[in-house]
Structure 1
Amino acid sequence: MPRFAANLSMMYNEHAFLDRFAAAARDGFKAVEYLFPYDFEVGTLRAQLDEHGLAQALFNAPPGDWAAGERGIAALPGREDEFKRSIDTALRYAGVLGNTKLHVMAGLVAAGEDRARYRAAYVANLAYAAQAAAAHGITVLMEPINTRDMPGYFLNRQDDAHAIRAEVGAPNLKVQFDCYHCQIVEGDLAMKLKRDFAGIGHIQIAGVPERHEPDIGELHYPYLFDLIDALGYDGWIGCEYRPKAGTSDGLGWLKPYL
């Protein structure tokens, strides 16, 4: 039976952020994820988890200047010292919140740039992050993101991600398989899940193409959930979608799995 984590960055936006933990728990979720925890004291977030009986499934390392449009710094040459500090911060939060998965965003590459330089920086920074995280029992994740939602993002394809994972060679470096992004860029999700399962560290879902509930759109998630179970996945599946209307009203798809 799949286990689902509510993504509080996208779901329950009808509530203030700290109130979303209670809302998710009332709807039957046992875990949460979100983009970034850094606007809050880590103890405040830990208290929300404890009060509502929730596990922390995942969050992202600091991404650079998000408000200015940056979407990660792991693949950006010249930002290595900043990247190392960001990993220190993320691991400090993870140590309190209890999650064992940390997503590290690659960043944007302008057209015409030397992608080989970015790849070399990415490989070196991922190796550093994986080594630092290993001491804390944490798996570092990289995620291919579609170019429609995030033009210029460095990593877009599953096979590229797994090639980089193999090049780094760290056992605690895995790929985050977001069904929404993969469907838009590549499709053929079932075969990619089978092909790459050993290197997949976290799974996320959303309807395609509008990124609403997973029972809206072109993907048939009941089949994929059965496949994910059959493959032996025992982690959380992150619900990283934008509810079409009210979050709770759109959770009919979840009821068979509670």
Structure 2
Amino acid sequence: MHSKLKFSANLKWLFTELPFEQRYDAAAAAGFKAVEFPWPYSWPLAEVRKLLDNSGLKQLLINTPVGQPGTVKSSGQACHPDSVAAFRADFASALEYASGLACEFIHLQGGIKQPEVADAQAFETLVNNVSWAAEQASGSGVTLVLEAVNHYDLPGSLLTTQARSLQVIEAASATNVGLLFDIYHTQRSEGDVSAKMRQYFPYIKHVQVADSPNRNEPGTGELNWRYIFGELIGLGYQGWVGCEYRPVTTTGDGLVWLDQLS
């Protein structure tokens, strides 16, 4: 890993050949300096902290809790008017873990709109929840990020474009909230990745990568990664790039792209 960019391993997607408890050490052995793991809540905070400390890695990002796959809660409930108290309890857990792990970012998941709820009401609920969460995180050193996700993988999601995510941030009037720019989701939902990256760069706090259309490692699909990474470097991006992809074979074999493309 000799790139001018800094890459973090997403442990939901990488090193899944191993139990969760072994993935931190595996990421460190592979040369990563930071990791992401969306939902650590099945393990006691002290246990996750021990794994992190033993590996010598930085915990970069976690997500807010979500409900069961296949349900309207599967991407969280931040836009659900009937679940504001539940969202706040979820966010309290996320902030506890983020603070305990010295984690830089919480991905506040916008959620899937409930079919019976008007778009405007769902949007207003999300704005209010983001504003409230930003106040809770103020002074903690934790930055909140919103991610536009594609409508193929997550039908019904409220946030599917960078513009929509930015509307929430601006309406919430919070300085500790930014964009999580996921290149895979952007390509699938909007296309024109480099132009979108330049347009929204002032608001981008974190970047994640996977190739399109199959969400495998960079170099396996339709995107020109040397160009994209060059654009990021040229824009002066100083943050981390999260590896949030599904390896074609094993994690280790797939990591050759880091030297070939970055």
- For the aligned pair, the TM-score class normalised by the smaller chain equals over 0.9
Q: Give the percent of matched residue pairs that are identical in Structure 1 and Structure 2.
A: 37
| Contact residue 157 and residue 185 of structure 1 kept, 8 A | yes
Q: How far apart are residue 110 of structure 1 and its match?
A: 4.2
Out of 177, 188, 194, the residue aligned to residue 184 of structure 1 is 188
The secondary structure found in structure 1 opposite 2:255 is helix
| Contact residue 35 and residue 57 of structure 2 kept, 8 A | yes
Q: Does 1:46 align with 2:53?
A: no
Out of 110, 115, 119, the residue aligned to residue 106 of structure 1 is 110
Q: Tell me the TM-score normalised to structure 1 length.
A: 0.96
| Contact residue 219 and residue 261 of structure 2 kept, 8 A | no
Q: Distance in 1 between matches of 2:211 and 2:205?
A: 21
| Contact residue 206 and residue 214 of structure 1 kept, 8 A | yes
Aligned residues: 257
1:107-122, aligned counterparts within 5 Å?
Answer: 107-111=111-115, 113-122=117-126
Q: How far apart are residue 66 of structure 1 and its match?
A: 2.6
| Contact residue 175 and residue 201 of structure 1 kept, 8 A | yes
Q: Distance in 1 between matches of 2:68 and 2:115?
A: 20
Q: Distance in 1 between matches of 2:144 and 2:207?
A: 13
1:84-233, aligned counterparts within 5 Å?
Answer: 84-111=88-115, 113-233=117-237
Q: Does 1:18 align with 2:8?
A: no
The secondary structure found in structure 1 opposite 2:206 is strand
Q: Which amino acid aligns with 2:88?
A: K
Give the structure 2 partner of residue 32 of structure 1: 35
Q: How far apart are residue 180 of structure 1 and its match?
A: 0.2
| Contact residue 208 and residue 244 of structure 2 kept, 8 A | yes
Q: How far apart are residue 109 of structure 1 and its match?
A: 1.7
Q: Which amino acid aligns with 1:32?
A: V
Q: How far apart are residue 249 of structure 1 and its match?
A: 0.6
Q: Distance in 2 between matches of 1:105 and 1:188?
A: 24
Q: How far apart are residue 226 of structure 1 and its match?
A: 1.6
Q: How far apart are residue 80 of structure 1 and its match?
A: 0.9
- RMSD of aligned alpha carbons: 1.5
Given the superposition, is the C-alpha separation of residues 208 and 8 from structure 1 closer, same or farther in structure 2, using an over 3 Å criterion?
same
Q: Which amino acid aligns with 2:106?
A: L
Q: Distance in 2 between matches of 1:113 and 1:105?
A: 18
Q: Tell me the TM-score normalised to structure 2 length.
A: 0.94
| Contact residue 2 and residue 257 of structure 1 kept, 8 A | no
Q: How far apart are residue 42 of structure 1 and its match?
A: 1.1
Q: Can you give the 5+ residue segments of structure 2 that lack an aligned partner in the other structure?
A: none
Give the structure 1 partner of residue 251 of structure 2: 247
| Contact residue 99 and residue 142 of structure 2 kept, 8 A | no
Give the structure 1 partner of residue 58 of structure 2: 55
